Chain A
Amino acid sequence: MKRKLEITELIFKIISYTLLTIFALACLYPFIYAVSASISGVEEVQYNRVVLFPKNVQFLAFSRMFKDNMFWNSYTNTLFITLYGTIWALFSSILAGYALSKKRLLFRKFFNFFLVFTMWFSAGIVPQYLNYLATRRIFNSVGIMDDKWLVVIAMGMAAMNIILLRNAFEGVPSEIEEAAIVDGATEMQVLTTVYIPMSKSTIATVSLFFAISRWNGYFWARQMISNNNEHPLQVFIRRQLEQFTDPDMMATWSQPYASDSVIYALIVCSIVPILVIYPFIQKYFAKGTNVGGVKE
């Protein structure tokens, strides 16, 4: 039986649809504009004739980007940092989360506090900066000249993610573990054959968080990586932006494409790979926020 819509319900529906449509379009529009502006002709961009669709389509800004060695370098560096950073953070977080999920662990309360305290209080960027500088000196003195390793190893671990993993491992029924131990499994085998397969979706979520934080990392990468060739994509984008919005340099611009198009092309290039994998990771991304509600 279909119920008649009440008047308040109707008003509410209309308001919802209108505002949601406006907000959704506002979310989408900048991307469409960025794509259009990156492939439009030089005068169309300079004199603001592009509003929604590209005009006088050309791909010179993109071809400039693709010919730039620094662009490919920075992309490779980002992939390097994302891959190794995620593997390292996931490896140490899974081990720590597993150990912390065990009731028999001595000083369990202390270790948990050790983690949670870093969520309450952080030293701030200046002491961190001094600390990273000192670590970089140590790394260099033992022969690790590539500063990317500092970004990979020192940054990216997060207390929150370890707690998510710990909670997931605590949810695994202990009977299965006991059965595995009776069958003669070692601690490591219990972890890899029982715990990891049984909390796959939390692990996927957490590794997604790690990957995103490494992919997006900008500030410390810029501060700590001294060699320009080792900079990741985010730092490259920012340096290009600073360069291309500098009025002195722009006064003598005489290319067949607008300077803005180069920046928009870069923005598009950095978003596209994420949009391509977005459908596959979306459900883990949405799940991640619901795992909250941490209890000590």
Chain B
Amino acid sequence: MKVRAADFLVYDNDKGVYVEDPEQIVRDDVEKHYWRHVILTIAKDWRLYLMLVPMLVVFLCWRYFPMYELLGCFKVSDTVLPVSEQLFSGFSYFKRLLFAGDSMSSEFWRALRNTFIISFYGLCFGFPMPIILALFFNEIRSNAARSVYQVLTYLPKFMSTVVMTSLVTMLVKQGSLTTGMGIINRFLTNVGLMDYEVANAGLLNNPAYFRTIYEVSGIWEGAGYDSIVFFSAIIAISPTSYEAAQIDGANKWAQMRYVVIPSILSTVVIMLITRIGGLLNVGYEKVLLLYNNNTYVTADVVSTFANRYGMTGQNPQPGIASAAEMMNNLIGMMLVIGANTIARKASNTSLY
């Protein structure tokens, strides 16, 4: 490739010689005095940058500073040193959690396994429900009837986690001398799905039912509300698509298969990415509110494990609890980025 003078210089007609491009001079100047340029720009436009300050303060103090404190999990021993002196001096907490073989280590493995299982169940059962619901809503032609159904199914979303879990606790509670058992226990006993003794002991005290209660209450609470986004994707489909399919002799299943599903696929992919991203972010609040000593076997997740060891008790060990959460969050972050990359490659749909 030939290098020409015109690439760097411009011809000055008056003087008849090549001179340096004035714009290039400015560009070089900007590069040379980059930070002066930055400061001048900010000073000239200071109102715009001042607007960022409240957000920056909140995010630095309460989102990023905890991440710095998270580095406390790389401590050598339990001696209290400032975080800056503990940096990367050891992985003893990680080793302890993963390989020590004591009760804490086995509880950590159990928590990690439970986290995966609970979120995997959520993905398998919780994720398709809103889509199915949206397909059903689409079948109802009368607007009034559909609104009634929609309002009823959104209803549980308006409760807070505390109210929702309180209601669930009351509905499946144990029977005692002064109070009868919960209405759901009674229903299950009456239709013969459950023994009286099991039902009377309370479903939330039984490790075998914890995950079921967690997932079913999740679907009950969220499926209606989550269906909104899928439903609006379905009603965005042009009626002509259906007509064309009908003329081609497509029955309902074929229309489903070749018109509706392909049209909402990108929405489904986006929601799936969000879901996978939050896979290890099992709502600690809901687990904390629903579990008790009897159900740790199936209910304990990493954040509740960290809560128990790092924040409560006589002798909290924040370092080791942070190490547990660190592993959980790193896997979670890899899942988000991985899911996003795959989705971008596969269907040109990406969230970030």
A residues at B contact (CB < 8 Å): 3, 6, 8-9, 11-13, 15-17, 19-21, 23-28, 30-31, 33-34, 45-48, 51, 91-93, 95-96, 98-100, 102, 104-106, 111, 114-116, 118-132, 135, 153-155, 157, 159, 162, 186-188, 215-216, 218-219, 223, 234-235, 237-238, 241, 245, 247, 250-251, 253, 258-260, 263-264, 266-267, 270-271, 274-275, 278, 282, 285-286, 289-290, 292-296
| A126→B285 contact, CB < 8 A | no
**In the bound complex, do residue A223 and residue B167 qualify as a contact, i.e. CB atoms below 8 Å apart?**
no
Chain B CB count within 10 A is highest, among A25, A30, A188, for: A30
Which interface residue of B48, B270, B289, B310 has the most chain A CB atoms within 10 A?
B48
Partner of A99, one of B51, B59, B228, B253: B51
Question: Shortest beta-carbon distance, A191 to chain B, in Å?
Answer: 8
Whose C-beta in chain B lies nearest to the C-beta of A294?
B351
* A125:B306 contact, CB within 8 angstroms: yes
State how many angstroms separate the Cβ of A116 from the closest Cβ of chain B.
6
> Complex: how many Å from CA A131 to CA B71?
13
Contacting pair A270 B160 (CB below 8 A) = yes
Determine whether B25 belongs to the interface, using a CB cutoff of 8 Å to chain A. Answer: no
Closest 9 pairs (CB-CB, A-B): A124-B325, A216-B160, A92-B54, A96-B55, A123-B66, A48-B180, A126-B310, A95-B51, A16-B139
Other A-B contacts than A118-B63, A241-B170, 19 sampled, CB-CB below 8 A, are: A20-B149, A27-B224, A33-B183, A48-B180, A48-B181, A51-B183, A95-B52, A95-B54, A96-B56, A99-B51, A99-B52, A122-B281, A125-B284, A126-B325, A127-B69, A131-B62, A237-B166, A270-B160, A290-B228
Given contacts A125-B303, A127-B72, contact A157 B51 (CB under 8 A): no
CB-based contact B253/A8 at 8 Å: yes
Q: Which of the 9-residue segments B7-15, B95-103, B105-113, B328-336 touches chain A? A: B328-336
Do B289 and A99 touch across chains, with their CB atoms under 8 A apart? Answer: no
25 residue pairs A–B, Cβ–Cβ below 8 Å? A12-B252, A16-B135, A28-B155, A46-B179, A46-B180, A91-B54, A102-B48, A115-B59, A120-B336, A121-B333, A122-B329, A124-B328, A125-B306, A127-B67, A127-B325, A157-B55, A216-B160, A219-B288, A237-B162, A238-B289, A241-B169, A251-B178, A259-B179, A263-B170, A290-B229
In the complex formed, the residue of A with least CB distance to B129 is A23
Q: Are A260 and B170 in contact (CB under 8 A)?
A: yes
Q: Do B220 and A218 touch (CB < 8 A)?
A: no
- Tell me which residues from 148 to 168 in chain B have a Cβ below 8 Å from any Cβ of chain A: 148-149, 151-156, 158-163, 166-167
- Distance in angstroms between the alpha carbons of A258 and B326 in the assembled complex: 46
Q: A96-B55, A125-B306, A267-B167 are in contact. Are A278 and B220 (CB under 8 A)?
A: no
Given A111, A188, A250, A271, which contacts B159 in the complex, CB threshold below 8 Å?
A: A271
With A237-B163, A289-B225, A295-B350 given, is the CB distance from A245 to B277 under 8 Å? Answer: no
CB nearest neighbor in B for A128: B66
Shortest A161–chain B CB gap in Å is: 11
| Contact between B153 and A123, CB atoms less than 8 A apart | no
Distance in angstroms between the alpha carbons of A130 and B179 in the assembled complex? 41
- A228 CB to closest chain B CB (Å) equals 16
Residues of A within 8 A of B59 (CB): 114-115, 118, 157, 159
Nearest Cβ in chain B — how far from A53, in angstroms? 13
Taking the complex as formed, is B70 at the interface, i.e. its CB lies under 8 A from any CB of chain A? yes
Q: Which residues of A contact B223 (CB under 8 A)?
A: 23
Chain A residues touching B, majority SS: helix
Judge whether B41 is part of the interface by a CB distance below 8 angstroms. yes
Whole-angstrom distance between the Cβ of B135 and the nearest chain A Cβ: 8
A269, closest chain B residue (CB):
B163
Per-position 1/0 for B112-136, Cβ under 8 A of A: 0000000000000000000001011
Q: How far is the CA of A258 from the CA of B180 in the complex (A)?
A: 10
B interface residues, how many (CB within 8 angstroms): 97
Query: Which among B156, B178, B303, B352 is the interface contact of A124 at CB below 8 angstroms?
Result: B303
Measured in the bound complex, the distance between the Cα atoms of B181 and A247 in whole Å is 13
Task: Report the separation of the CA atoms of residues A95 and B303 in the bound assembly, to the nearest whole angstrom.
Answer: 33
Residues of chain B within 8 A (CB-CB) of A295 are 350, 352
Question: B139, A12: Cβ atoms under 8 Å?
Answer: yes
Closest CB-CB distance, A232 to chain B, in whole Å? 10
**Contact A125–B232 (Cβ < 8 Å):** no
Smallest CB separation, A148 vs chain B (Å): 16
Do B251 and A9 touch (CB < 8 A)? yes
Please determine whether B160 and A99 come into contact, CB atoms closer than 8 angstroms. Answer: no
In Å, the complex CA distance between A229 and B197 comes to 40
Q: Are B55 and A130 in contact (CB under 8 A)?
A: no
Contact in complex: A253, B55 (CB < 8 Å)? no
A99, B49: Cβ atoms closer than 8 Å: yes
Residues of A within 8 A of B166 (CB): 237-238, 241, 263, 266-267
Contact of B55 (CB < 8 Å), options: A93, A219, A292: A93
Interface positions, chain B 278-298, Cβ under 8 Å from A, are 281, 284-285, 288-289
Give the complex CA separation of A290 and B321 in angstroms.
Answer: 37
Min C-beta distance of B52 to chain A, whole Å: 5
In the assembled complex, B193 has its CB within 8 A of some CB on chain A: no
Chain A proximity of B105: nearest CB distance (Å): 18
Contact A31 B155 (CB under 8 A): yes
